[in-house]
Structure 1
Amino acid sequence: MTPSIAPFQDAIYWPAFVIATAAAIIASQATISATYSIIKQALALGCFPRVKVVHTSKKFLGQIYIPDINWLLLILCIAVTAGFKNQSQIGNAYGTAVVIVMLVTTFLMVPIMLLVWKSHWILVITFIVLSLMVELPYFWACILKIDQGGWVPLVIAIAFFIIMYVWHYCTVKRYEFEMHSKVSMAWILGLGPSLGLVRVPGIGFVYTELASGVPHIFSHFITNLPAIHSVVVFVCVKYLPVYTVPVEERFLVRRIGPKNFHIFRCIARYGYKDLHKKDDDFEKMLFDCLTLFIRLESMMDGYSDSDEFSLPEQRTEGSINTAFLADKTVNTMCSNGDLSYSSQDSIVPVQSPLGVNNLLTYSSQTNRTVSNEVEFLNRCRDAGVVHILGNTIVRARRDSGIIKKISVDYLYAFMRRICRENSVMFNIPHESLLNVGQIYYI
């Protein structure tokens, strides 16, 4: 090596080192962000076990951080670097991953050009031919180097594919079982006000993924236990793709069955930045919503079902204001799914043919009924609140193949154990948590 070349290399060593390090940092951040986005989409589609997702921005939904995936990437990076100890093999692994991504992107562009952009088929064929002319030679070169490090991204891709497929398959089967085994309202009505059991003082929050119908876990619970709480609330927690859901719009409440059954359904809606606070705050907000729902329900029943109130054909300014206030009140904190009230209807009290005395009698009876039910709710809340969480376990049938048994009984069961539990997601204290399990064979 000539002396002139040696000083030149010494001069550019540190600048090249700084640039290469910065490029590696930028590339690693892009890889991490892309991995977070893919996992987030897989979670939304039910194709990946539940992991903690931290949203780092109030304005942008896509800026997220997943601690578990970050640690997994660290482990894989150390394993690849320490395992190969060879730059050429690491380069072959990287090249194989990049070429496969290029091919997948090309083939995914075809349905987008045909279905979304409505491009002409000649343009689509031209795009495919030009892209494959460049990508296929690179792909063939990577195929020849699979045994020299190119097998690493393929193994990782196959492992993630198996995890996602098994989780999605078992999750869909479990959800289909819960949907098809919902309890009919006729069965609930046939049990009577006591549900065929002893109604003990207290409020039972039954958590379910179903937004409609009575879950099968409830019938399983009351069939095997001799008592049920005096007030039962089916709670369905939904996370919406918005930053936050206002508190006054968080709960949707409706009644299930007759009033003397004291069974309600509540859908709690949260944004991705809303925190499911401790049970005391959640119970207080839900209880206040139930109380408001009972008062609004009696008011709307009186407007729609009684003879003392009717809808005039001509609307006045006072009727419009009354309707606006009533509609605004219904949608403040909880919404009644059973009410067929519309903001276009005007509700105006008119003179009753039965006289004012009957009107006052009806109003006083309604107020007494509402007061009695609210007082009943207060006594039940003071008696205690129990959170009942359904836990449906999926198992493979005895006549299933060995691959299915391993996938369902071992792989899926292992992922269920290590993923975030519903009790952690809902922030339920262990002292008031009751898990009700059942086994479903697929």
Structure 2
Amino acid sequence: MSSKSTETPRMSDDEETHTSVEEIESPVTKQSYKEILMLAFSSLGAIYGDIGTSPLYVLNSIKYPHATPTEEDIFGGISIIFYLFIIIVLAKYAFVVLTYGPNEGEGGQIAIYAKIARHLHFGPKGVIIPGSPQRSDLELLKRVETTNSFMSSKSQGGWKKKPSVIKFISAFTLIVCFLGCALVISDGLLTPTTSVLSAVAGIQVAKPSFSHVLAVSEVILVFLFFIQQFGSATISYFFAPIIAVWLVGLIICGAINISHHPSVLKSLSPHYAIRLLKRSGVDAFGGSMLAITGTEAMFADLGHFGKVPTQIGISTVLFALIITYLGQGAYVIKRPESLPNVFYESIPGGTNSWFYWIMFVLAILSTIIASQALILGVFSILSQMINLDCFPKLRVVHVSSSYVGKVYIPMANLLLLIGVCATTAGFKNSNNVTAAYGLGISLDFLLTSLLLMVCFVYVYEYQWWVSAIYCLIFVPLEVCIIISNIKKVPHGGWFPLMMCAIFFSIFAFWRYCRSKTVEKQLTSRVRITDIFPLLKGKPASTVVDLGHKSYVDSTDISMNEADLSERETVEDEPNQDVKFDERSPFKLVSTNYGNVELSTKPGVAIIYSDNPYNDLSSPNSVPGVYERIVRSCASIPSVVIFCTIRVLSIPTVASEDRILVGATKIPGHYNCILRFGFMEQRVSDETLSQEILRQFPEVDRLRSSMSAKIPVLHIFEADKIRSSEGDEEILFTRNPLTWTVKYLRRIMIDHVFSPVNAIFQHDDQYVRISNEDDERREKIFVGGIMRI
């Protein structure tokens, strides 16, 4: 018996609570000046070690027109470095890129791509791009129609909005994004190698007999990657003071050397840069651009510290570096023979002074820190790639409750350690590795510019001439830098290109296979009317939010929010049976052998899925795994729960907000969303499972009618993915090229993608049952062959 509620229903109050949880998922926080300055200081120890240690090897890497550089040559080299700082580091990255590039606080080319894809409504299938408008979990649970999308699309107008142009932009930006991310990861292999080898080589300047540079470098690198597990916040607090002291030491060295030859300040005039470029050509950029390595990592690391702290940090670092290069130039002008080891020889007091060994120790520590920027950049990029389903779902550990972008990826850290140690062993000394260094970074500069120009037009809807002006200012310089570095290819520049090709292939292959898999999953969802033939033409009667014991009348599909406030409260009826009655349209199941009567057994089945939006967005269909169960067994537990796990962008979720439930159109079948904060361990243990069951009246009635424990089955979909090309199709292909492509496609999907995907896609790792015997009985994997 039901009666109208005369008071404001509990549902409304709780809806406000849940809505607030949704709203604080992407909080707009205003930082105090103290927090900004503390973050700026901390960023010294995580972002600027790379660019901050460039004085170790830059000035002697520049190609001068004379074997022994003249005063004008040195002035020209310093002038080029100075204006690269101004144009690339400050104007482009600190001002333009950090302002227009980030997406939801994250940086890197993947962030720019995500922003473009979000505004143009393209991107990886089955993925919610960060920042996209989306329905709350409660709205998804109450959804009763599928005709209208909640995402608005921009009106079509002009050539840039034509479908063919949008399709091209979609492919172009994805390719550029993958190339950019691959180049940053390639730099992640070279940067630690370059920095550490250059610093340890300082021992040979003071002690020429020392011959263990490589061994010491490898030990330092192992230590560097070992401490990554403590998180960027902890590491930066220890590293920031070291970099700060290092920068002070650089300023002291530079100021003392400048005082001996003040005329070096004339090199700040662009006149000398232009004259050197006339004599040496663009080759002068090949060495001088090494002074700005680490700039691309600064953008990739944005999620760890934020925009304003990063801008403050880079301004401070550049001041120290300019003083340092001016001081080194002043020293070389007086002693040209010191150029090969200008950093260590220009330290005041000589190679045996106490100040020399202080700077040497600081150099070693700073080069360890220098690698930190690229390592954090790799973590940030891979984390975003995982979120966009463009990389296997490695375990991502959030190391800060204040910033969702601060992450650590154990598997990536291990693989990067192996790669860096192998790279260091291969190049052996700093001279070899600096010959390979720079090409990948210069290409990365250009790719960022290409994405930004697209972003100006489509995201910010600026006039085309804004992108044209940006292009005229930055792109010609970046192209010149690339040309100067292409000559490094025979001398080691091939290495970053090779690694870029490998990483790009991994990204593209994984995205292609996942796209085909998600497409197959979406098309394999089964309409309820195809399973229950008697249901055709009959509307659903109710949609229920069982978490609040409130029933919502949804016979009218066009119900609006005002209608939802008018609901009836139904008292629990202990004697009500959950079996389908004879008139129920859910009594019969359609199979290949005709209609079969569906029976129910006392118990609960929880069917898990990893994508709430794909599974809840269509209330008229069910996952393919459910179809397999009912058509194969013709018997189901009396309560079936479709459960999804969702991670919010807040640190923790209150216990009262963790579980959201709602009814489906099938009696005894419900949707459930488990919500966790990014700092919480995603585990559904026995306590949480019992809490889920307490949300449902049917389970309470089962408990009262059964003396034994209610049987609970945890069901996971475990399809084996195989290539759609069969043996016969490949065998009868006449074209050798087509045959080769199809055969390789089958090999890669069957023996590479399928096993790797199986490792990282299963949700059973999140469901823990205390007793091992119970786990074997209660966990069931249902699946078949999915051909893509």
Short-chain TM bin: 0.7 to 0.9
Aligned to 1:440: 786
Q: CA deviation at 1:116?
A: 4.0
Of 84, 88, 98 in structure 1, the residue corresponding to residue 441 of structure 2 is: 98
Of 749, 752, 757 in structure 2, the residue corresponding to residue 416 of structure 1 is: 757
Aligned to 1:338: none
Conserved 8 A contact 1:52-1:420: no
Q: Deviations over 1:249-291 (max 9, x none)?
A: 22232223454xx222212222212323343122112112223
CA distance in 2, matches of 1:383, 1:123: 66
2:593 matches 1:192: no
2:525 matches 1:182: yes
> Cα gap change, 1:126/1:10 in structure 2, threshold over 3 Å: closer, same or farther?
farther
Of 701, 707, 719 in structure 2, the residue corresponding to residue 375 of structure 1 is: 701
2:379 matches 1:52: no
CA distance in 2, matches of 1:149, 1:379: 75
Conserved 8 A contact 1:276-1:427: no
Question: SS of 1:161's equivalent?
Answer: helix
- Detail structure 1 runs of 4+ shifted over 6 Å in the superposition: 4-7
> Cα gap change, 1:120/1:204 in structure 2, threshold over 3 Å: closer, same or farther?
closer
Aligned to 1:146: 489
CA distance in 1, matches of 2:352, 2:643: 68
Of 577, 602, 610 in structure 2, the residue corresponding to residue 201 of structure 1 is: 602
Structure 2 residue ranges without an equivalent (≥5): 1-336, 339-344, 534-584, 590-596, 731-741
Map 1:145-294 → 2, pairs under 5 A: 145-190=488-533, 192-193=586-587, 196-208=597-609, 209=611, 210-211=615-616, 212=618, 213-225=621-633, 227-259=635-667, 262-291=668-697
Q: What one-letter code is carried by the residue in structure 2 that aligns with 1:424?
A: Q
Q: CA deviation at 1:119?
A: 4.5
Conserved 8 A contact 2:604-2:713: yes
267-276 or 411-420, which moves further after superposition?
411-420
Conserved 8 A contact 2:720-2:783: yes
CA distance in 2, matches of 1:113, 1:91: 35
Question: SS of 2:526's equivalent?
Answer: coil
193-202 or 269-278, which moves further after superposition?
193-202
Conserved 8 A contact 1:89-1:150: no
> Cα gap change, 1:395/1:8 in structure 2, threshold over 3 Å: closer, same or farther?
same
Question: SS of 2:709's equivalent?
Answer: helix
Q: Deviations over 1:78-118 (max 9, x none)?
A: 01001121323322333122112211122222123333445
Q: CA deviation at 1:125?
A: 2.4
Q: Deviations over 1:195-245 (max 9, x none)?
A: 634533321111123224310111112333464322211112222222233
Question: SS of 1:205's equivalent?
Answer: strand
> Cα gap change, 1:19/1:135 in structure 2, threshold over 3 Å: closer, same or farther?
farther
Q: CA deviation at 1:167?
A: 2.0
CA distance in 1, matches of 2:433, 2:495: 9
CA distance in 1, matches of 2:484, 2:720: 47
CA distance in 1, matches of 2:410, 2:766: 16
> Cα gap change, 1:242/1:36 in structure 2, threshold over 3 Å: closer, same or farther?
same
Conserved 8 A contact 2:399-2:408: yes
Map 1:20-169 → 2, pairs under 5 A: 20-169=363-512
Aligned to 1:307: none
Conserved 8 A contact 1:231-1:377: no
Q: What one-letter code is carried by the residue in structure 1 that aligns with 2:352?
A: D
Conserved 8 A contact 1:170-1:394: no
CA distance in 1, matches of 2:386, 2:474: 31
CA distance in 1, matches of 2:356, 2:758: 50
> Cα gap change, 1:129/1:433 in structure 2, threshold over 3 Å: closer, same or farther?
same
Aligned to 2:10: none
CA distance in 2, matches of 1:376, 1:187: 30
Q: What one-letter code is carried by the residue in structure 2 that aligns with 1:395?
A: R
Conserved 8 A contact 2:640-2:669: yes
> Cα gap change, 1:433/1:194 in structure 2, threshold over 3 Å: closer, same or farther?
farther
Q: What one-letter code is carried by the residue in structure 1 that aligns with 2:604?
A: I
CA distance in 2, matches of 1:254, 1:270: 18
Q: What one-letter code is carried by the residue in structure 2 that aligns with 1:131?
A: F
CA distance in 2, matches of 1:418, 1:389: 14
CA distance in 2, matches of 1:131, 1:15: 39
25-34 or 163-172, which moves further after superposition?
163-172
Q: What one-letter code is carried by the residue in structure 1 that aligns with 2:386?
A: L
Q: What one-letter code is carried by the residue in structure 2 that aligns with 1:216?
A: G
Map 1:325-340 → 2, pairs under 5 A: none
Question: SS of 1:9's equivalent?
Answer: coil
> Cα gap change, 1:270/1:165 in structure 2, threshold over 3 Å: closer, same or farther?
same
Question: SS of 1:264's equivalent?
Answer: strand
Q: What one-letter code is carried by the residue in structure 1 that aligns with 2:712?
A: V
TM-score (norm. length: structure 1): 0.73
TM-score (norm. length: structure 2): 0.42
Q: What one-letter code is carried by the residue in structure 2 that aligns with 1:287?
A: L
Q: What one-letter code is carried by the residue in structure 1 that aligns with 2:351?
A: Q
Q: CA deviation at 1:387?
A: 0.6
Aligned to 2:251: none
> Cα gap change, 1:136/1:258 in structure 2, threshold over 3 Å: closer, same or farther?
closer
Aligned to 1:19: 362
Q: What one-letter code is carried by the residue in structure 2 that aligns with 1:410?
A: H
How well do the aligned residues superpose, as a CA RMSD in angstroms?
A: 2.9
Question: SS of 1:265's equivalent?
Answer: strand
Equivalent residues, number:
359
Identity of aligned residues (%): 28
Question: SS of 1:223's equivalent?
Answer: helix
Q: What one-letter code is carried by the residue in structure 1 that aligns with 2:420?
A: C
> Cα gap change, 1:147/1:425 in structure 2, threshold over 3 Å: closer, same or farther?
farther
Q: CA deviation at 1:13?
A: 4.1
Q: Deviations over 1:20-60 (max 9, x none)?
A: 22332232111111111101111111111011111111111
Q: CA deviation at 1:404?
A: 1.6
Question: SS of 2:695's equivalent?
Answer: helix
- Of structures 1 and 2, the one scoring higher in RCO (CA 8 A, sep 6+) is 2
2:411 matches 1:10: no
CA distance in 2, matches of 1:87, 1:200: 71
CA distance in 2, matches of 1:124, 1:181: 43
CA distance in 2, matches of 1:393, 1:245: 34
Aligned to 2:115: none
> Cα gap change, 1:225/1:92 in structure 2, threshold over 3 Å: closer, same or farther?
farther
Q: What one-letter code is carried by the residue in structure 2 that aligns with 1:436?
A: V
> Cα gap change, 1:225/1:84 in structure 2, threshold over 3 Å: closer, same or farther?
farther
CA distance in 2, matches of 1:433, 1:5: 68
2:737 matches 1:395: no
Question: SS of 2:650's equivalent?
Answer: coil
CA distance in 1, matches of 2:684, 2:366: 44
CA distance in 2, matches of 1:35, 1:216: 37
Q: What one-letter code is carried by the residue in structure 2 that aligns with 1:192?
A: F
CA distance in 2, matches of 1:5, 1:243: 49
Conserved 8 A contact 2:513-2:749: yes
Conserved 8 A contact 1:181-1:215: yes
Aligned to 2:19: none
Q: Deviations over 1:309-347 (max 9, x none)?
A: xxxxxxxxxxxxxxxxxxxxxxxxxxxxxxxxxxxxxxx
Q: What one-letter code is carried by the residue in structure 2 that aligns with 1:169?
A: Y
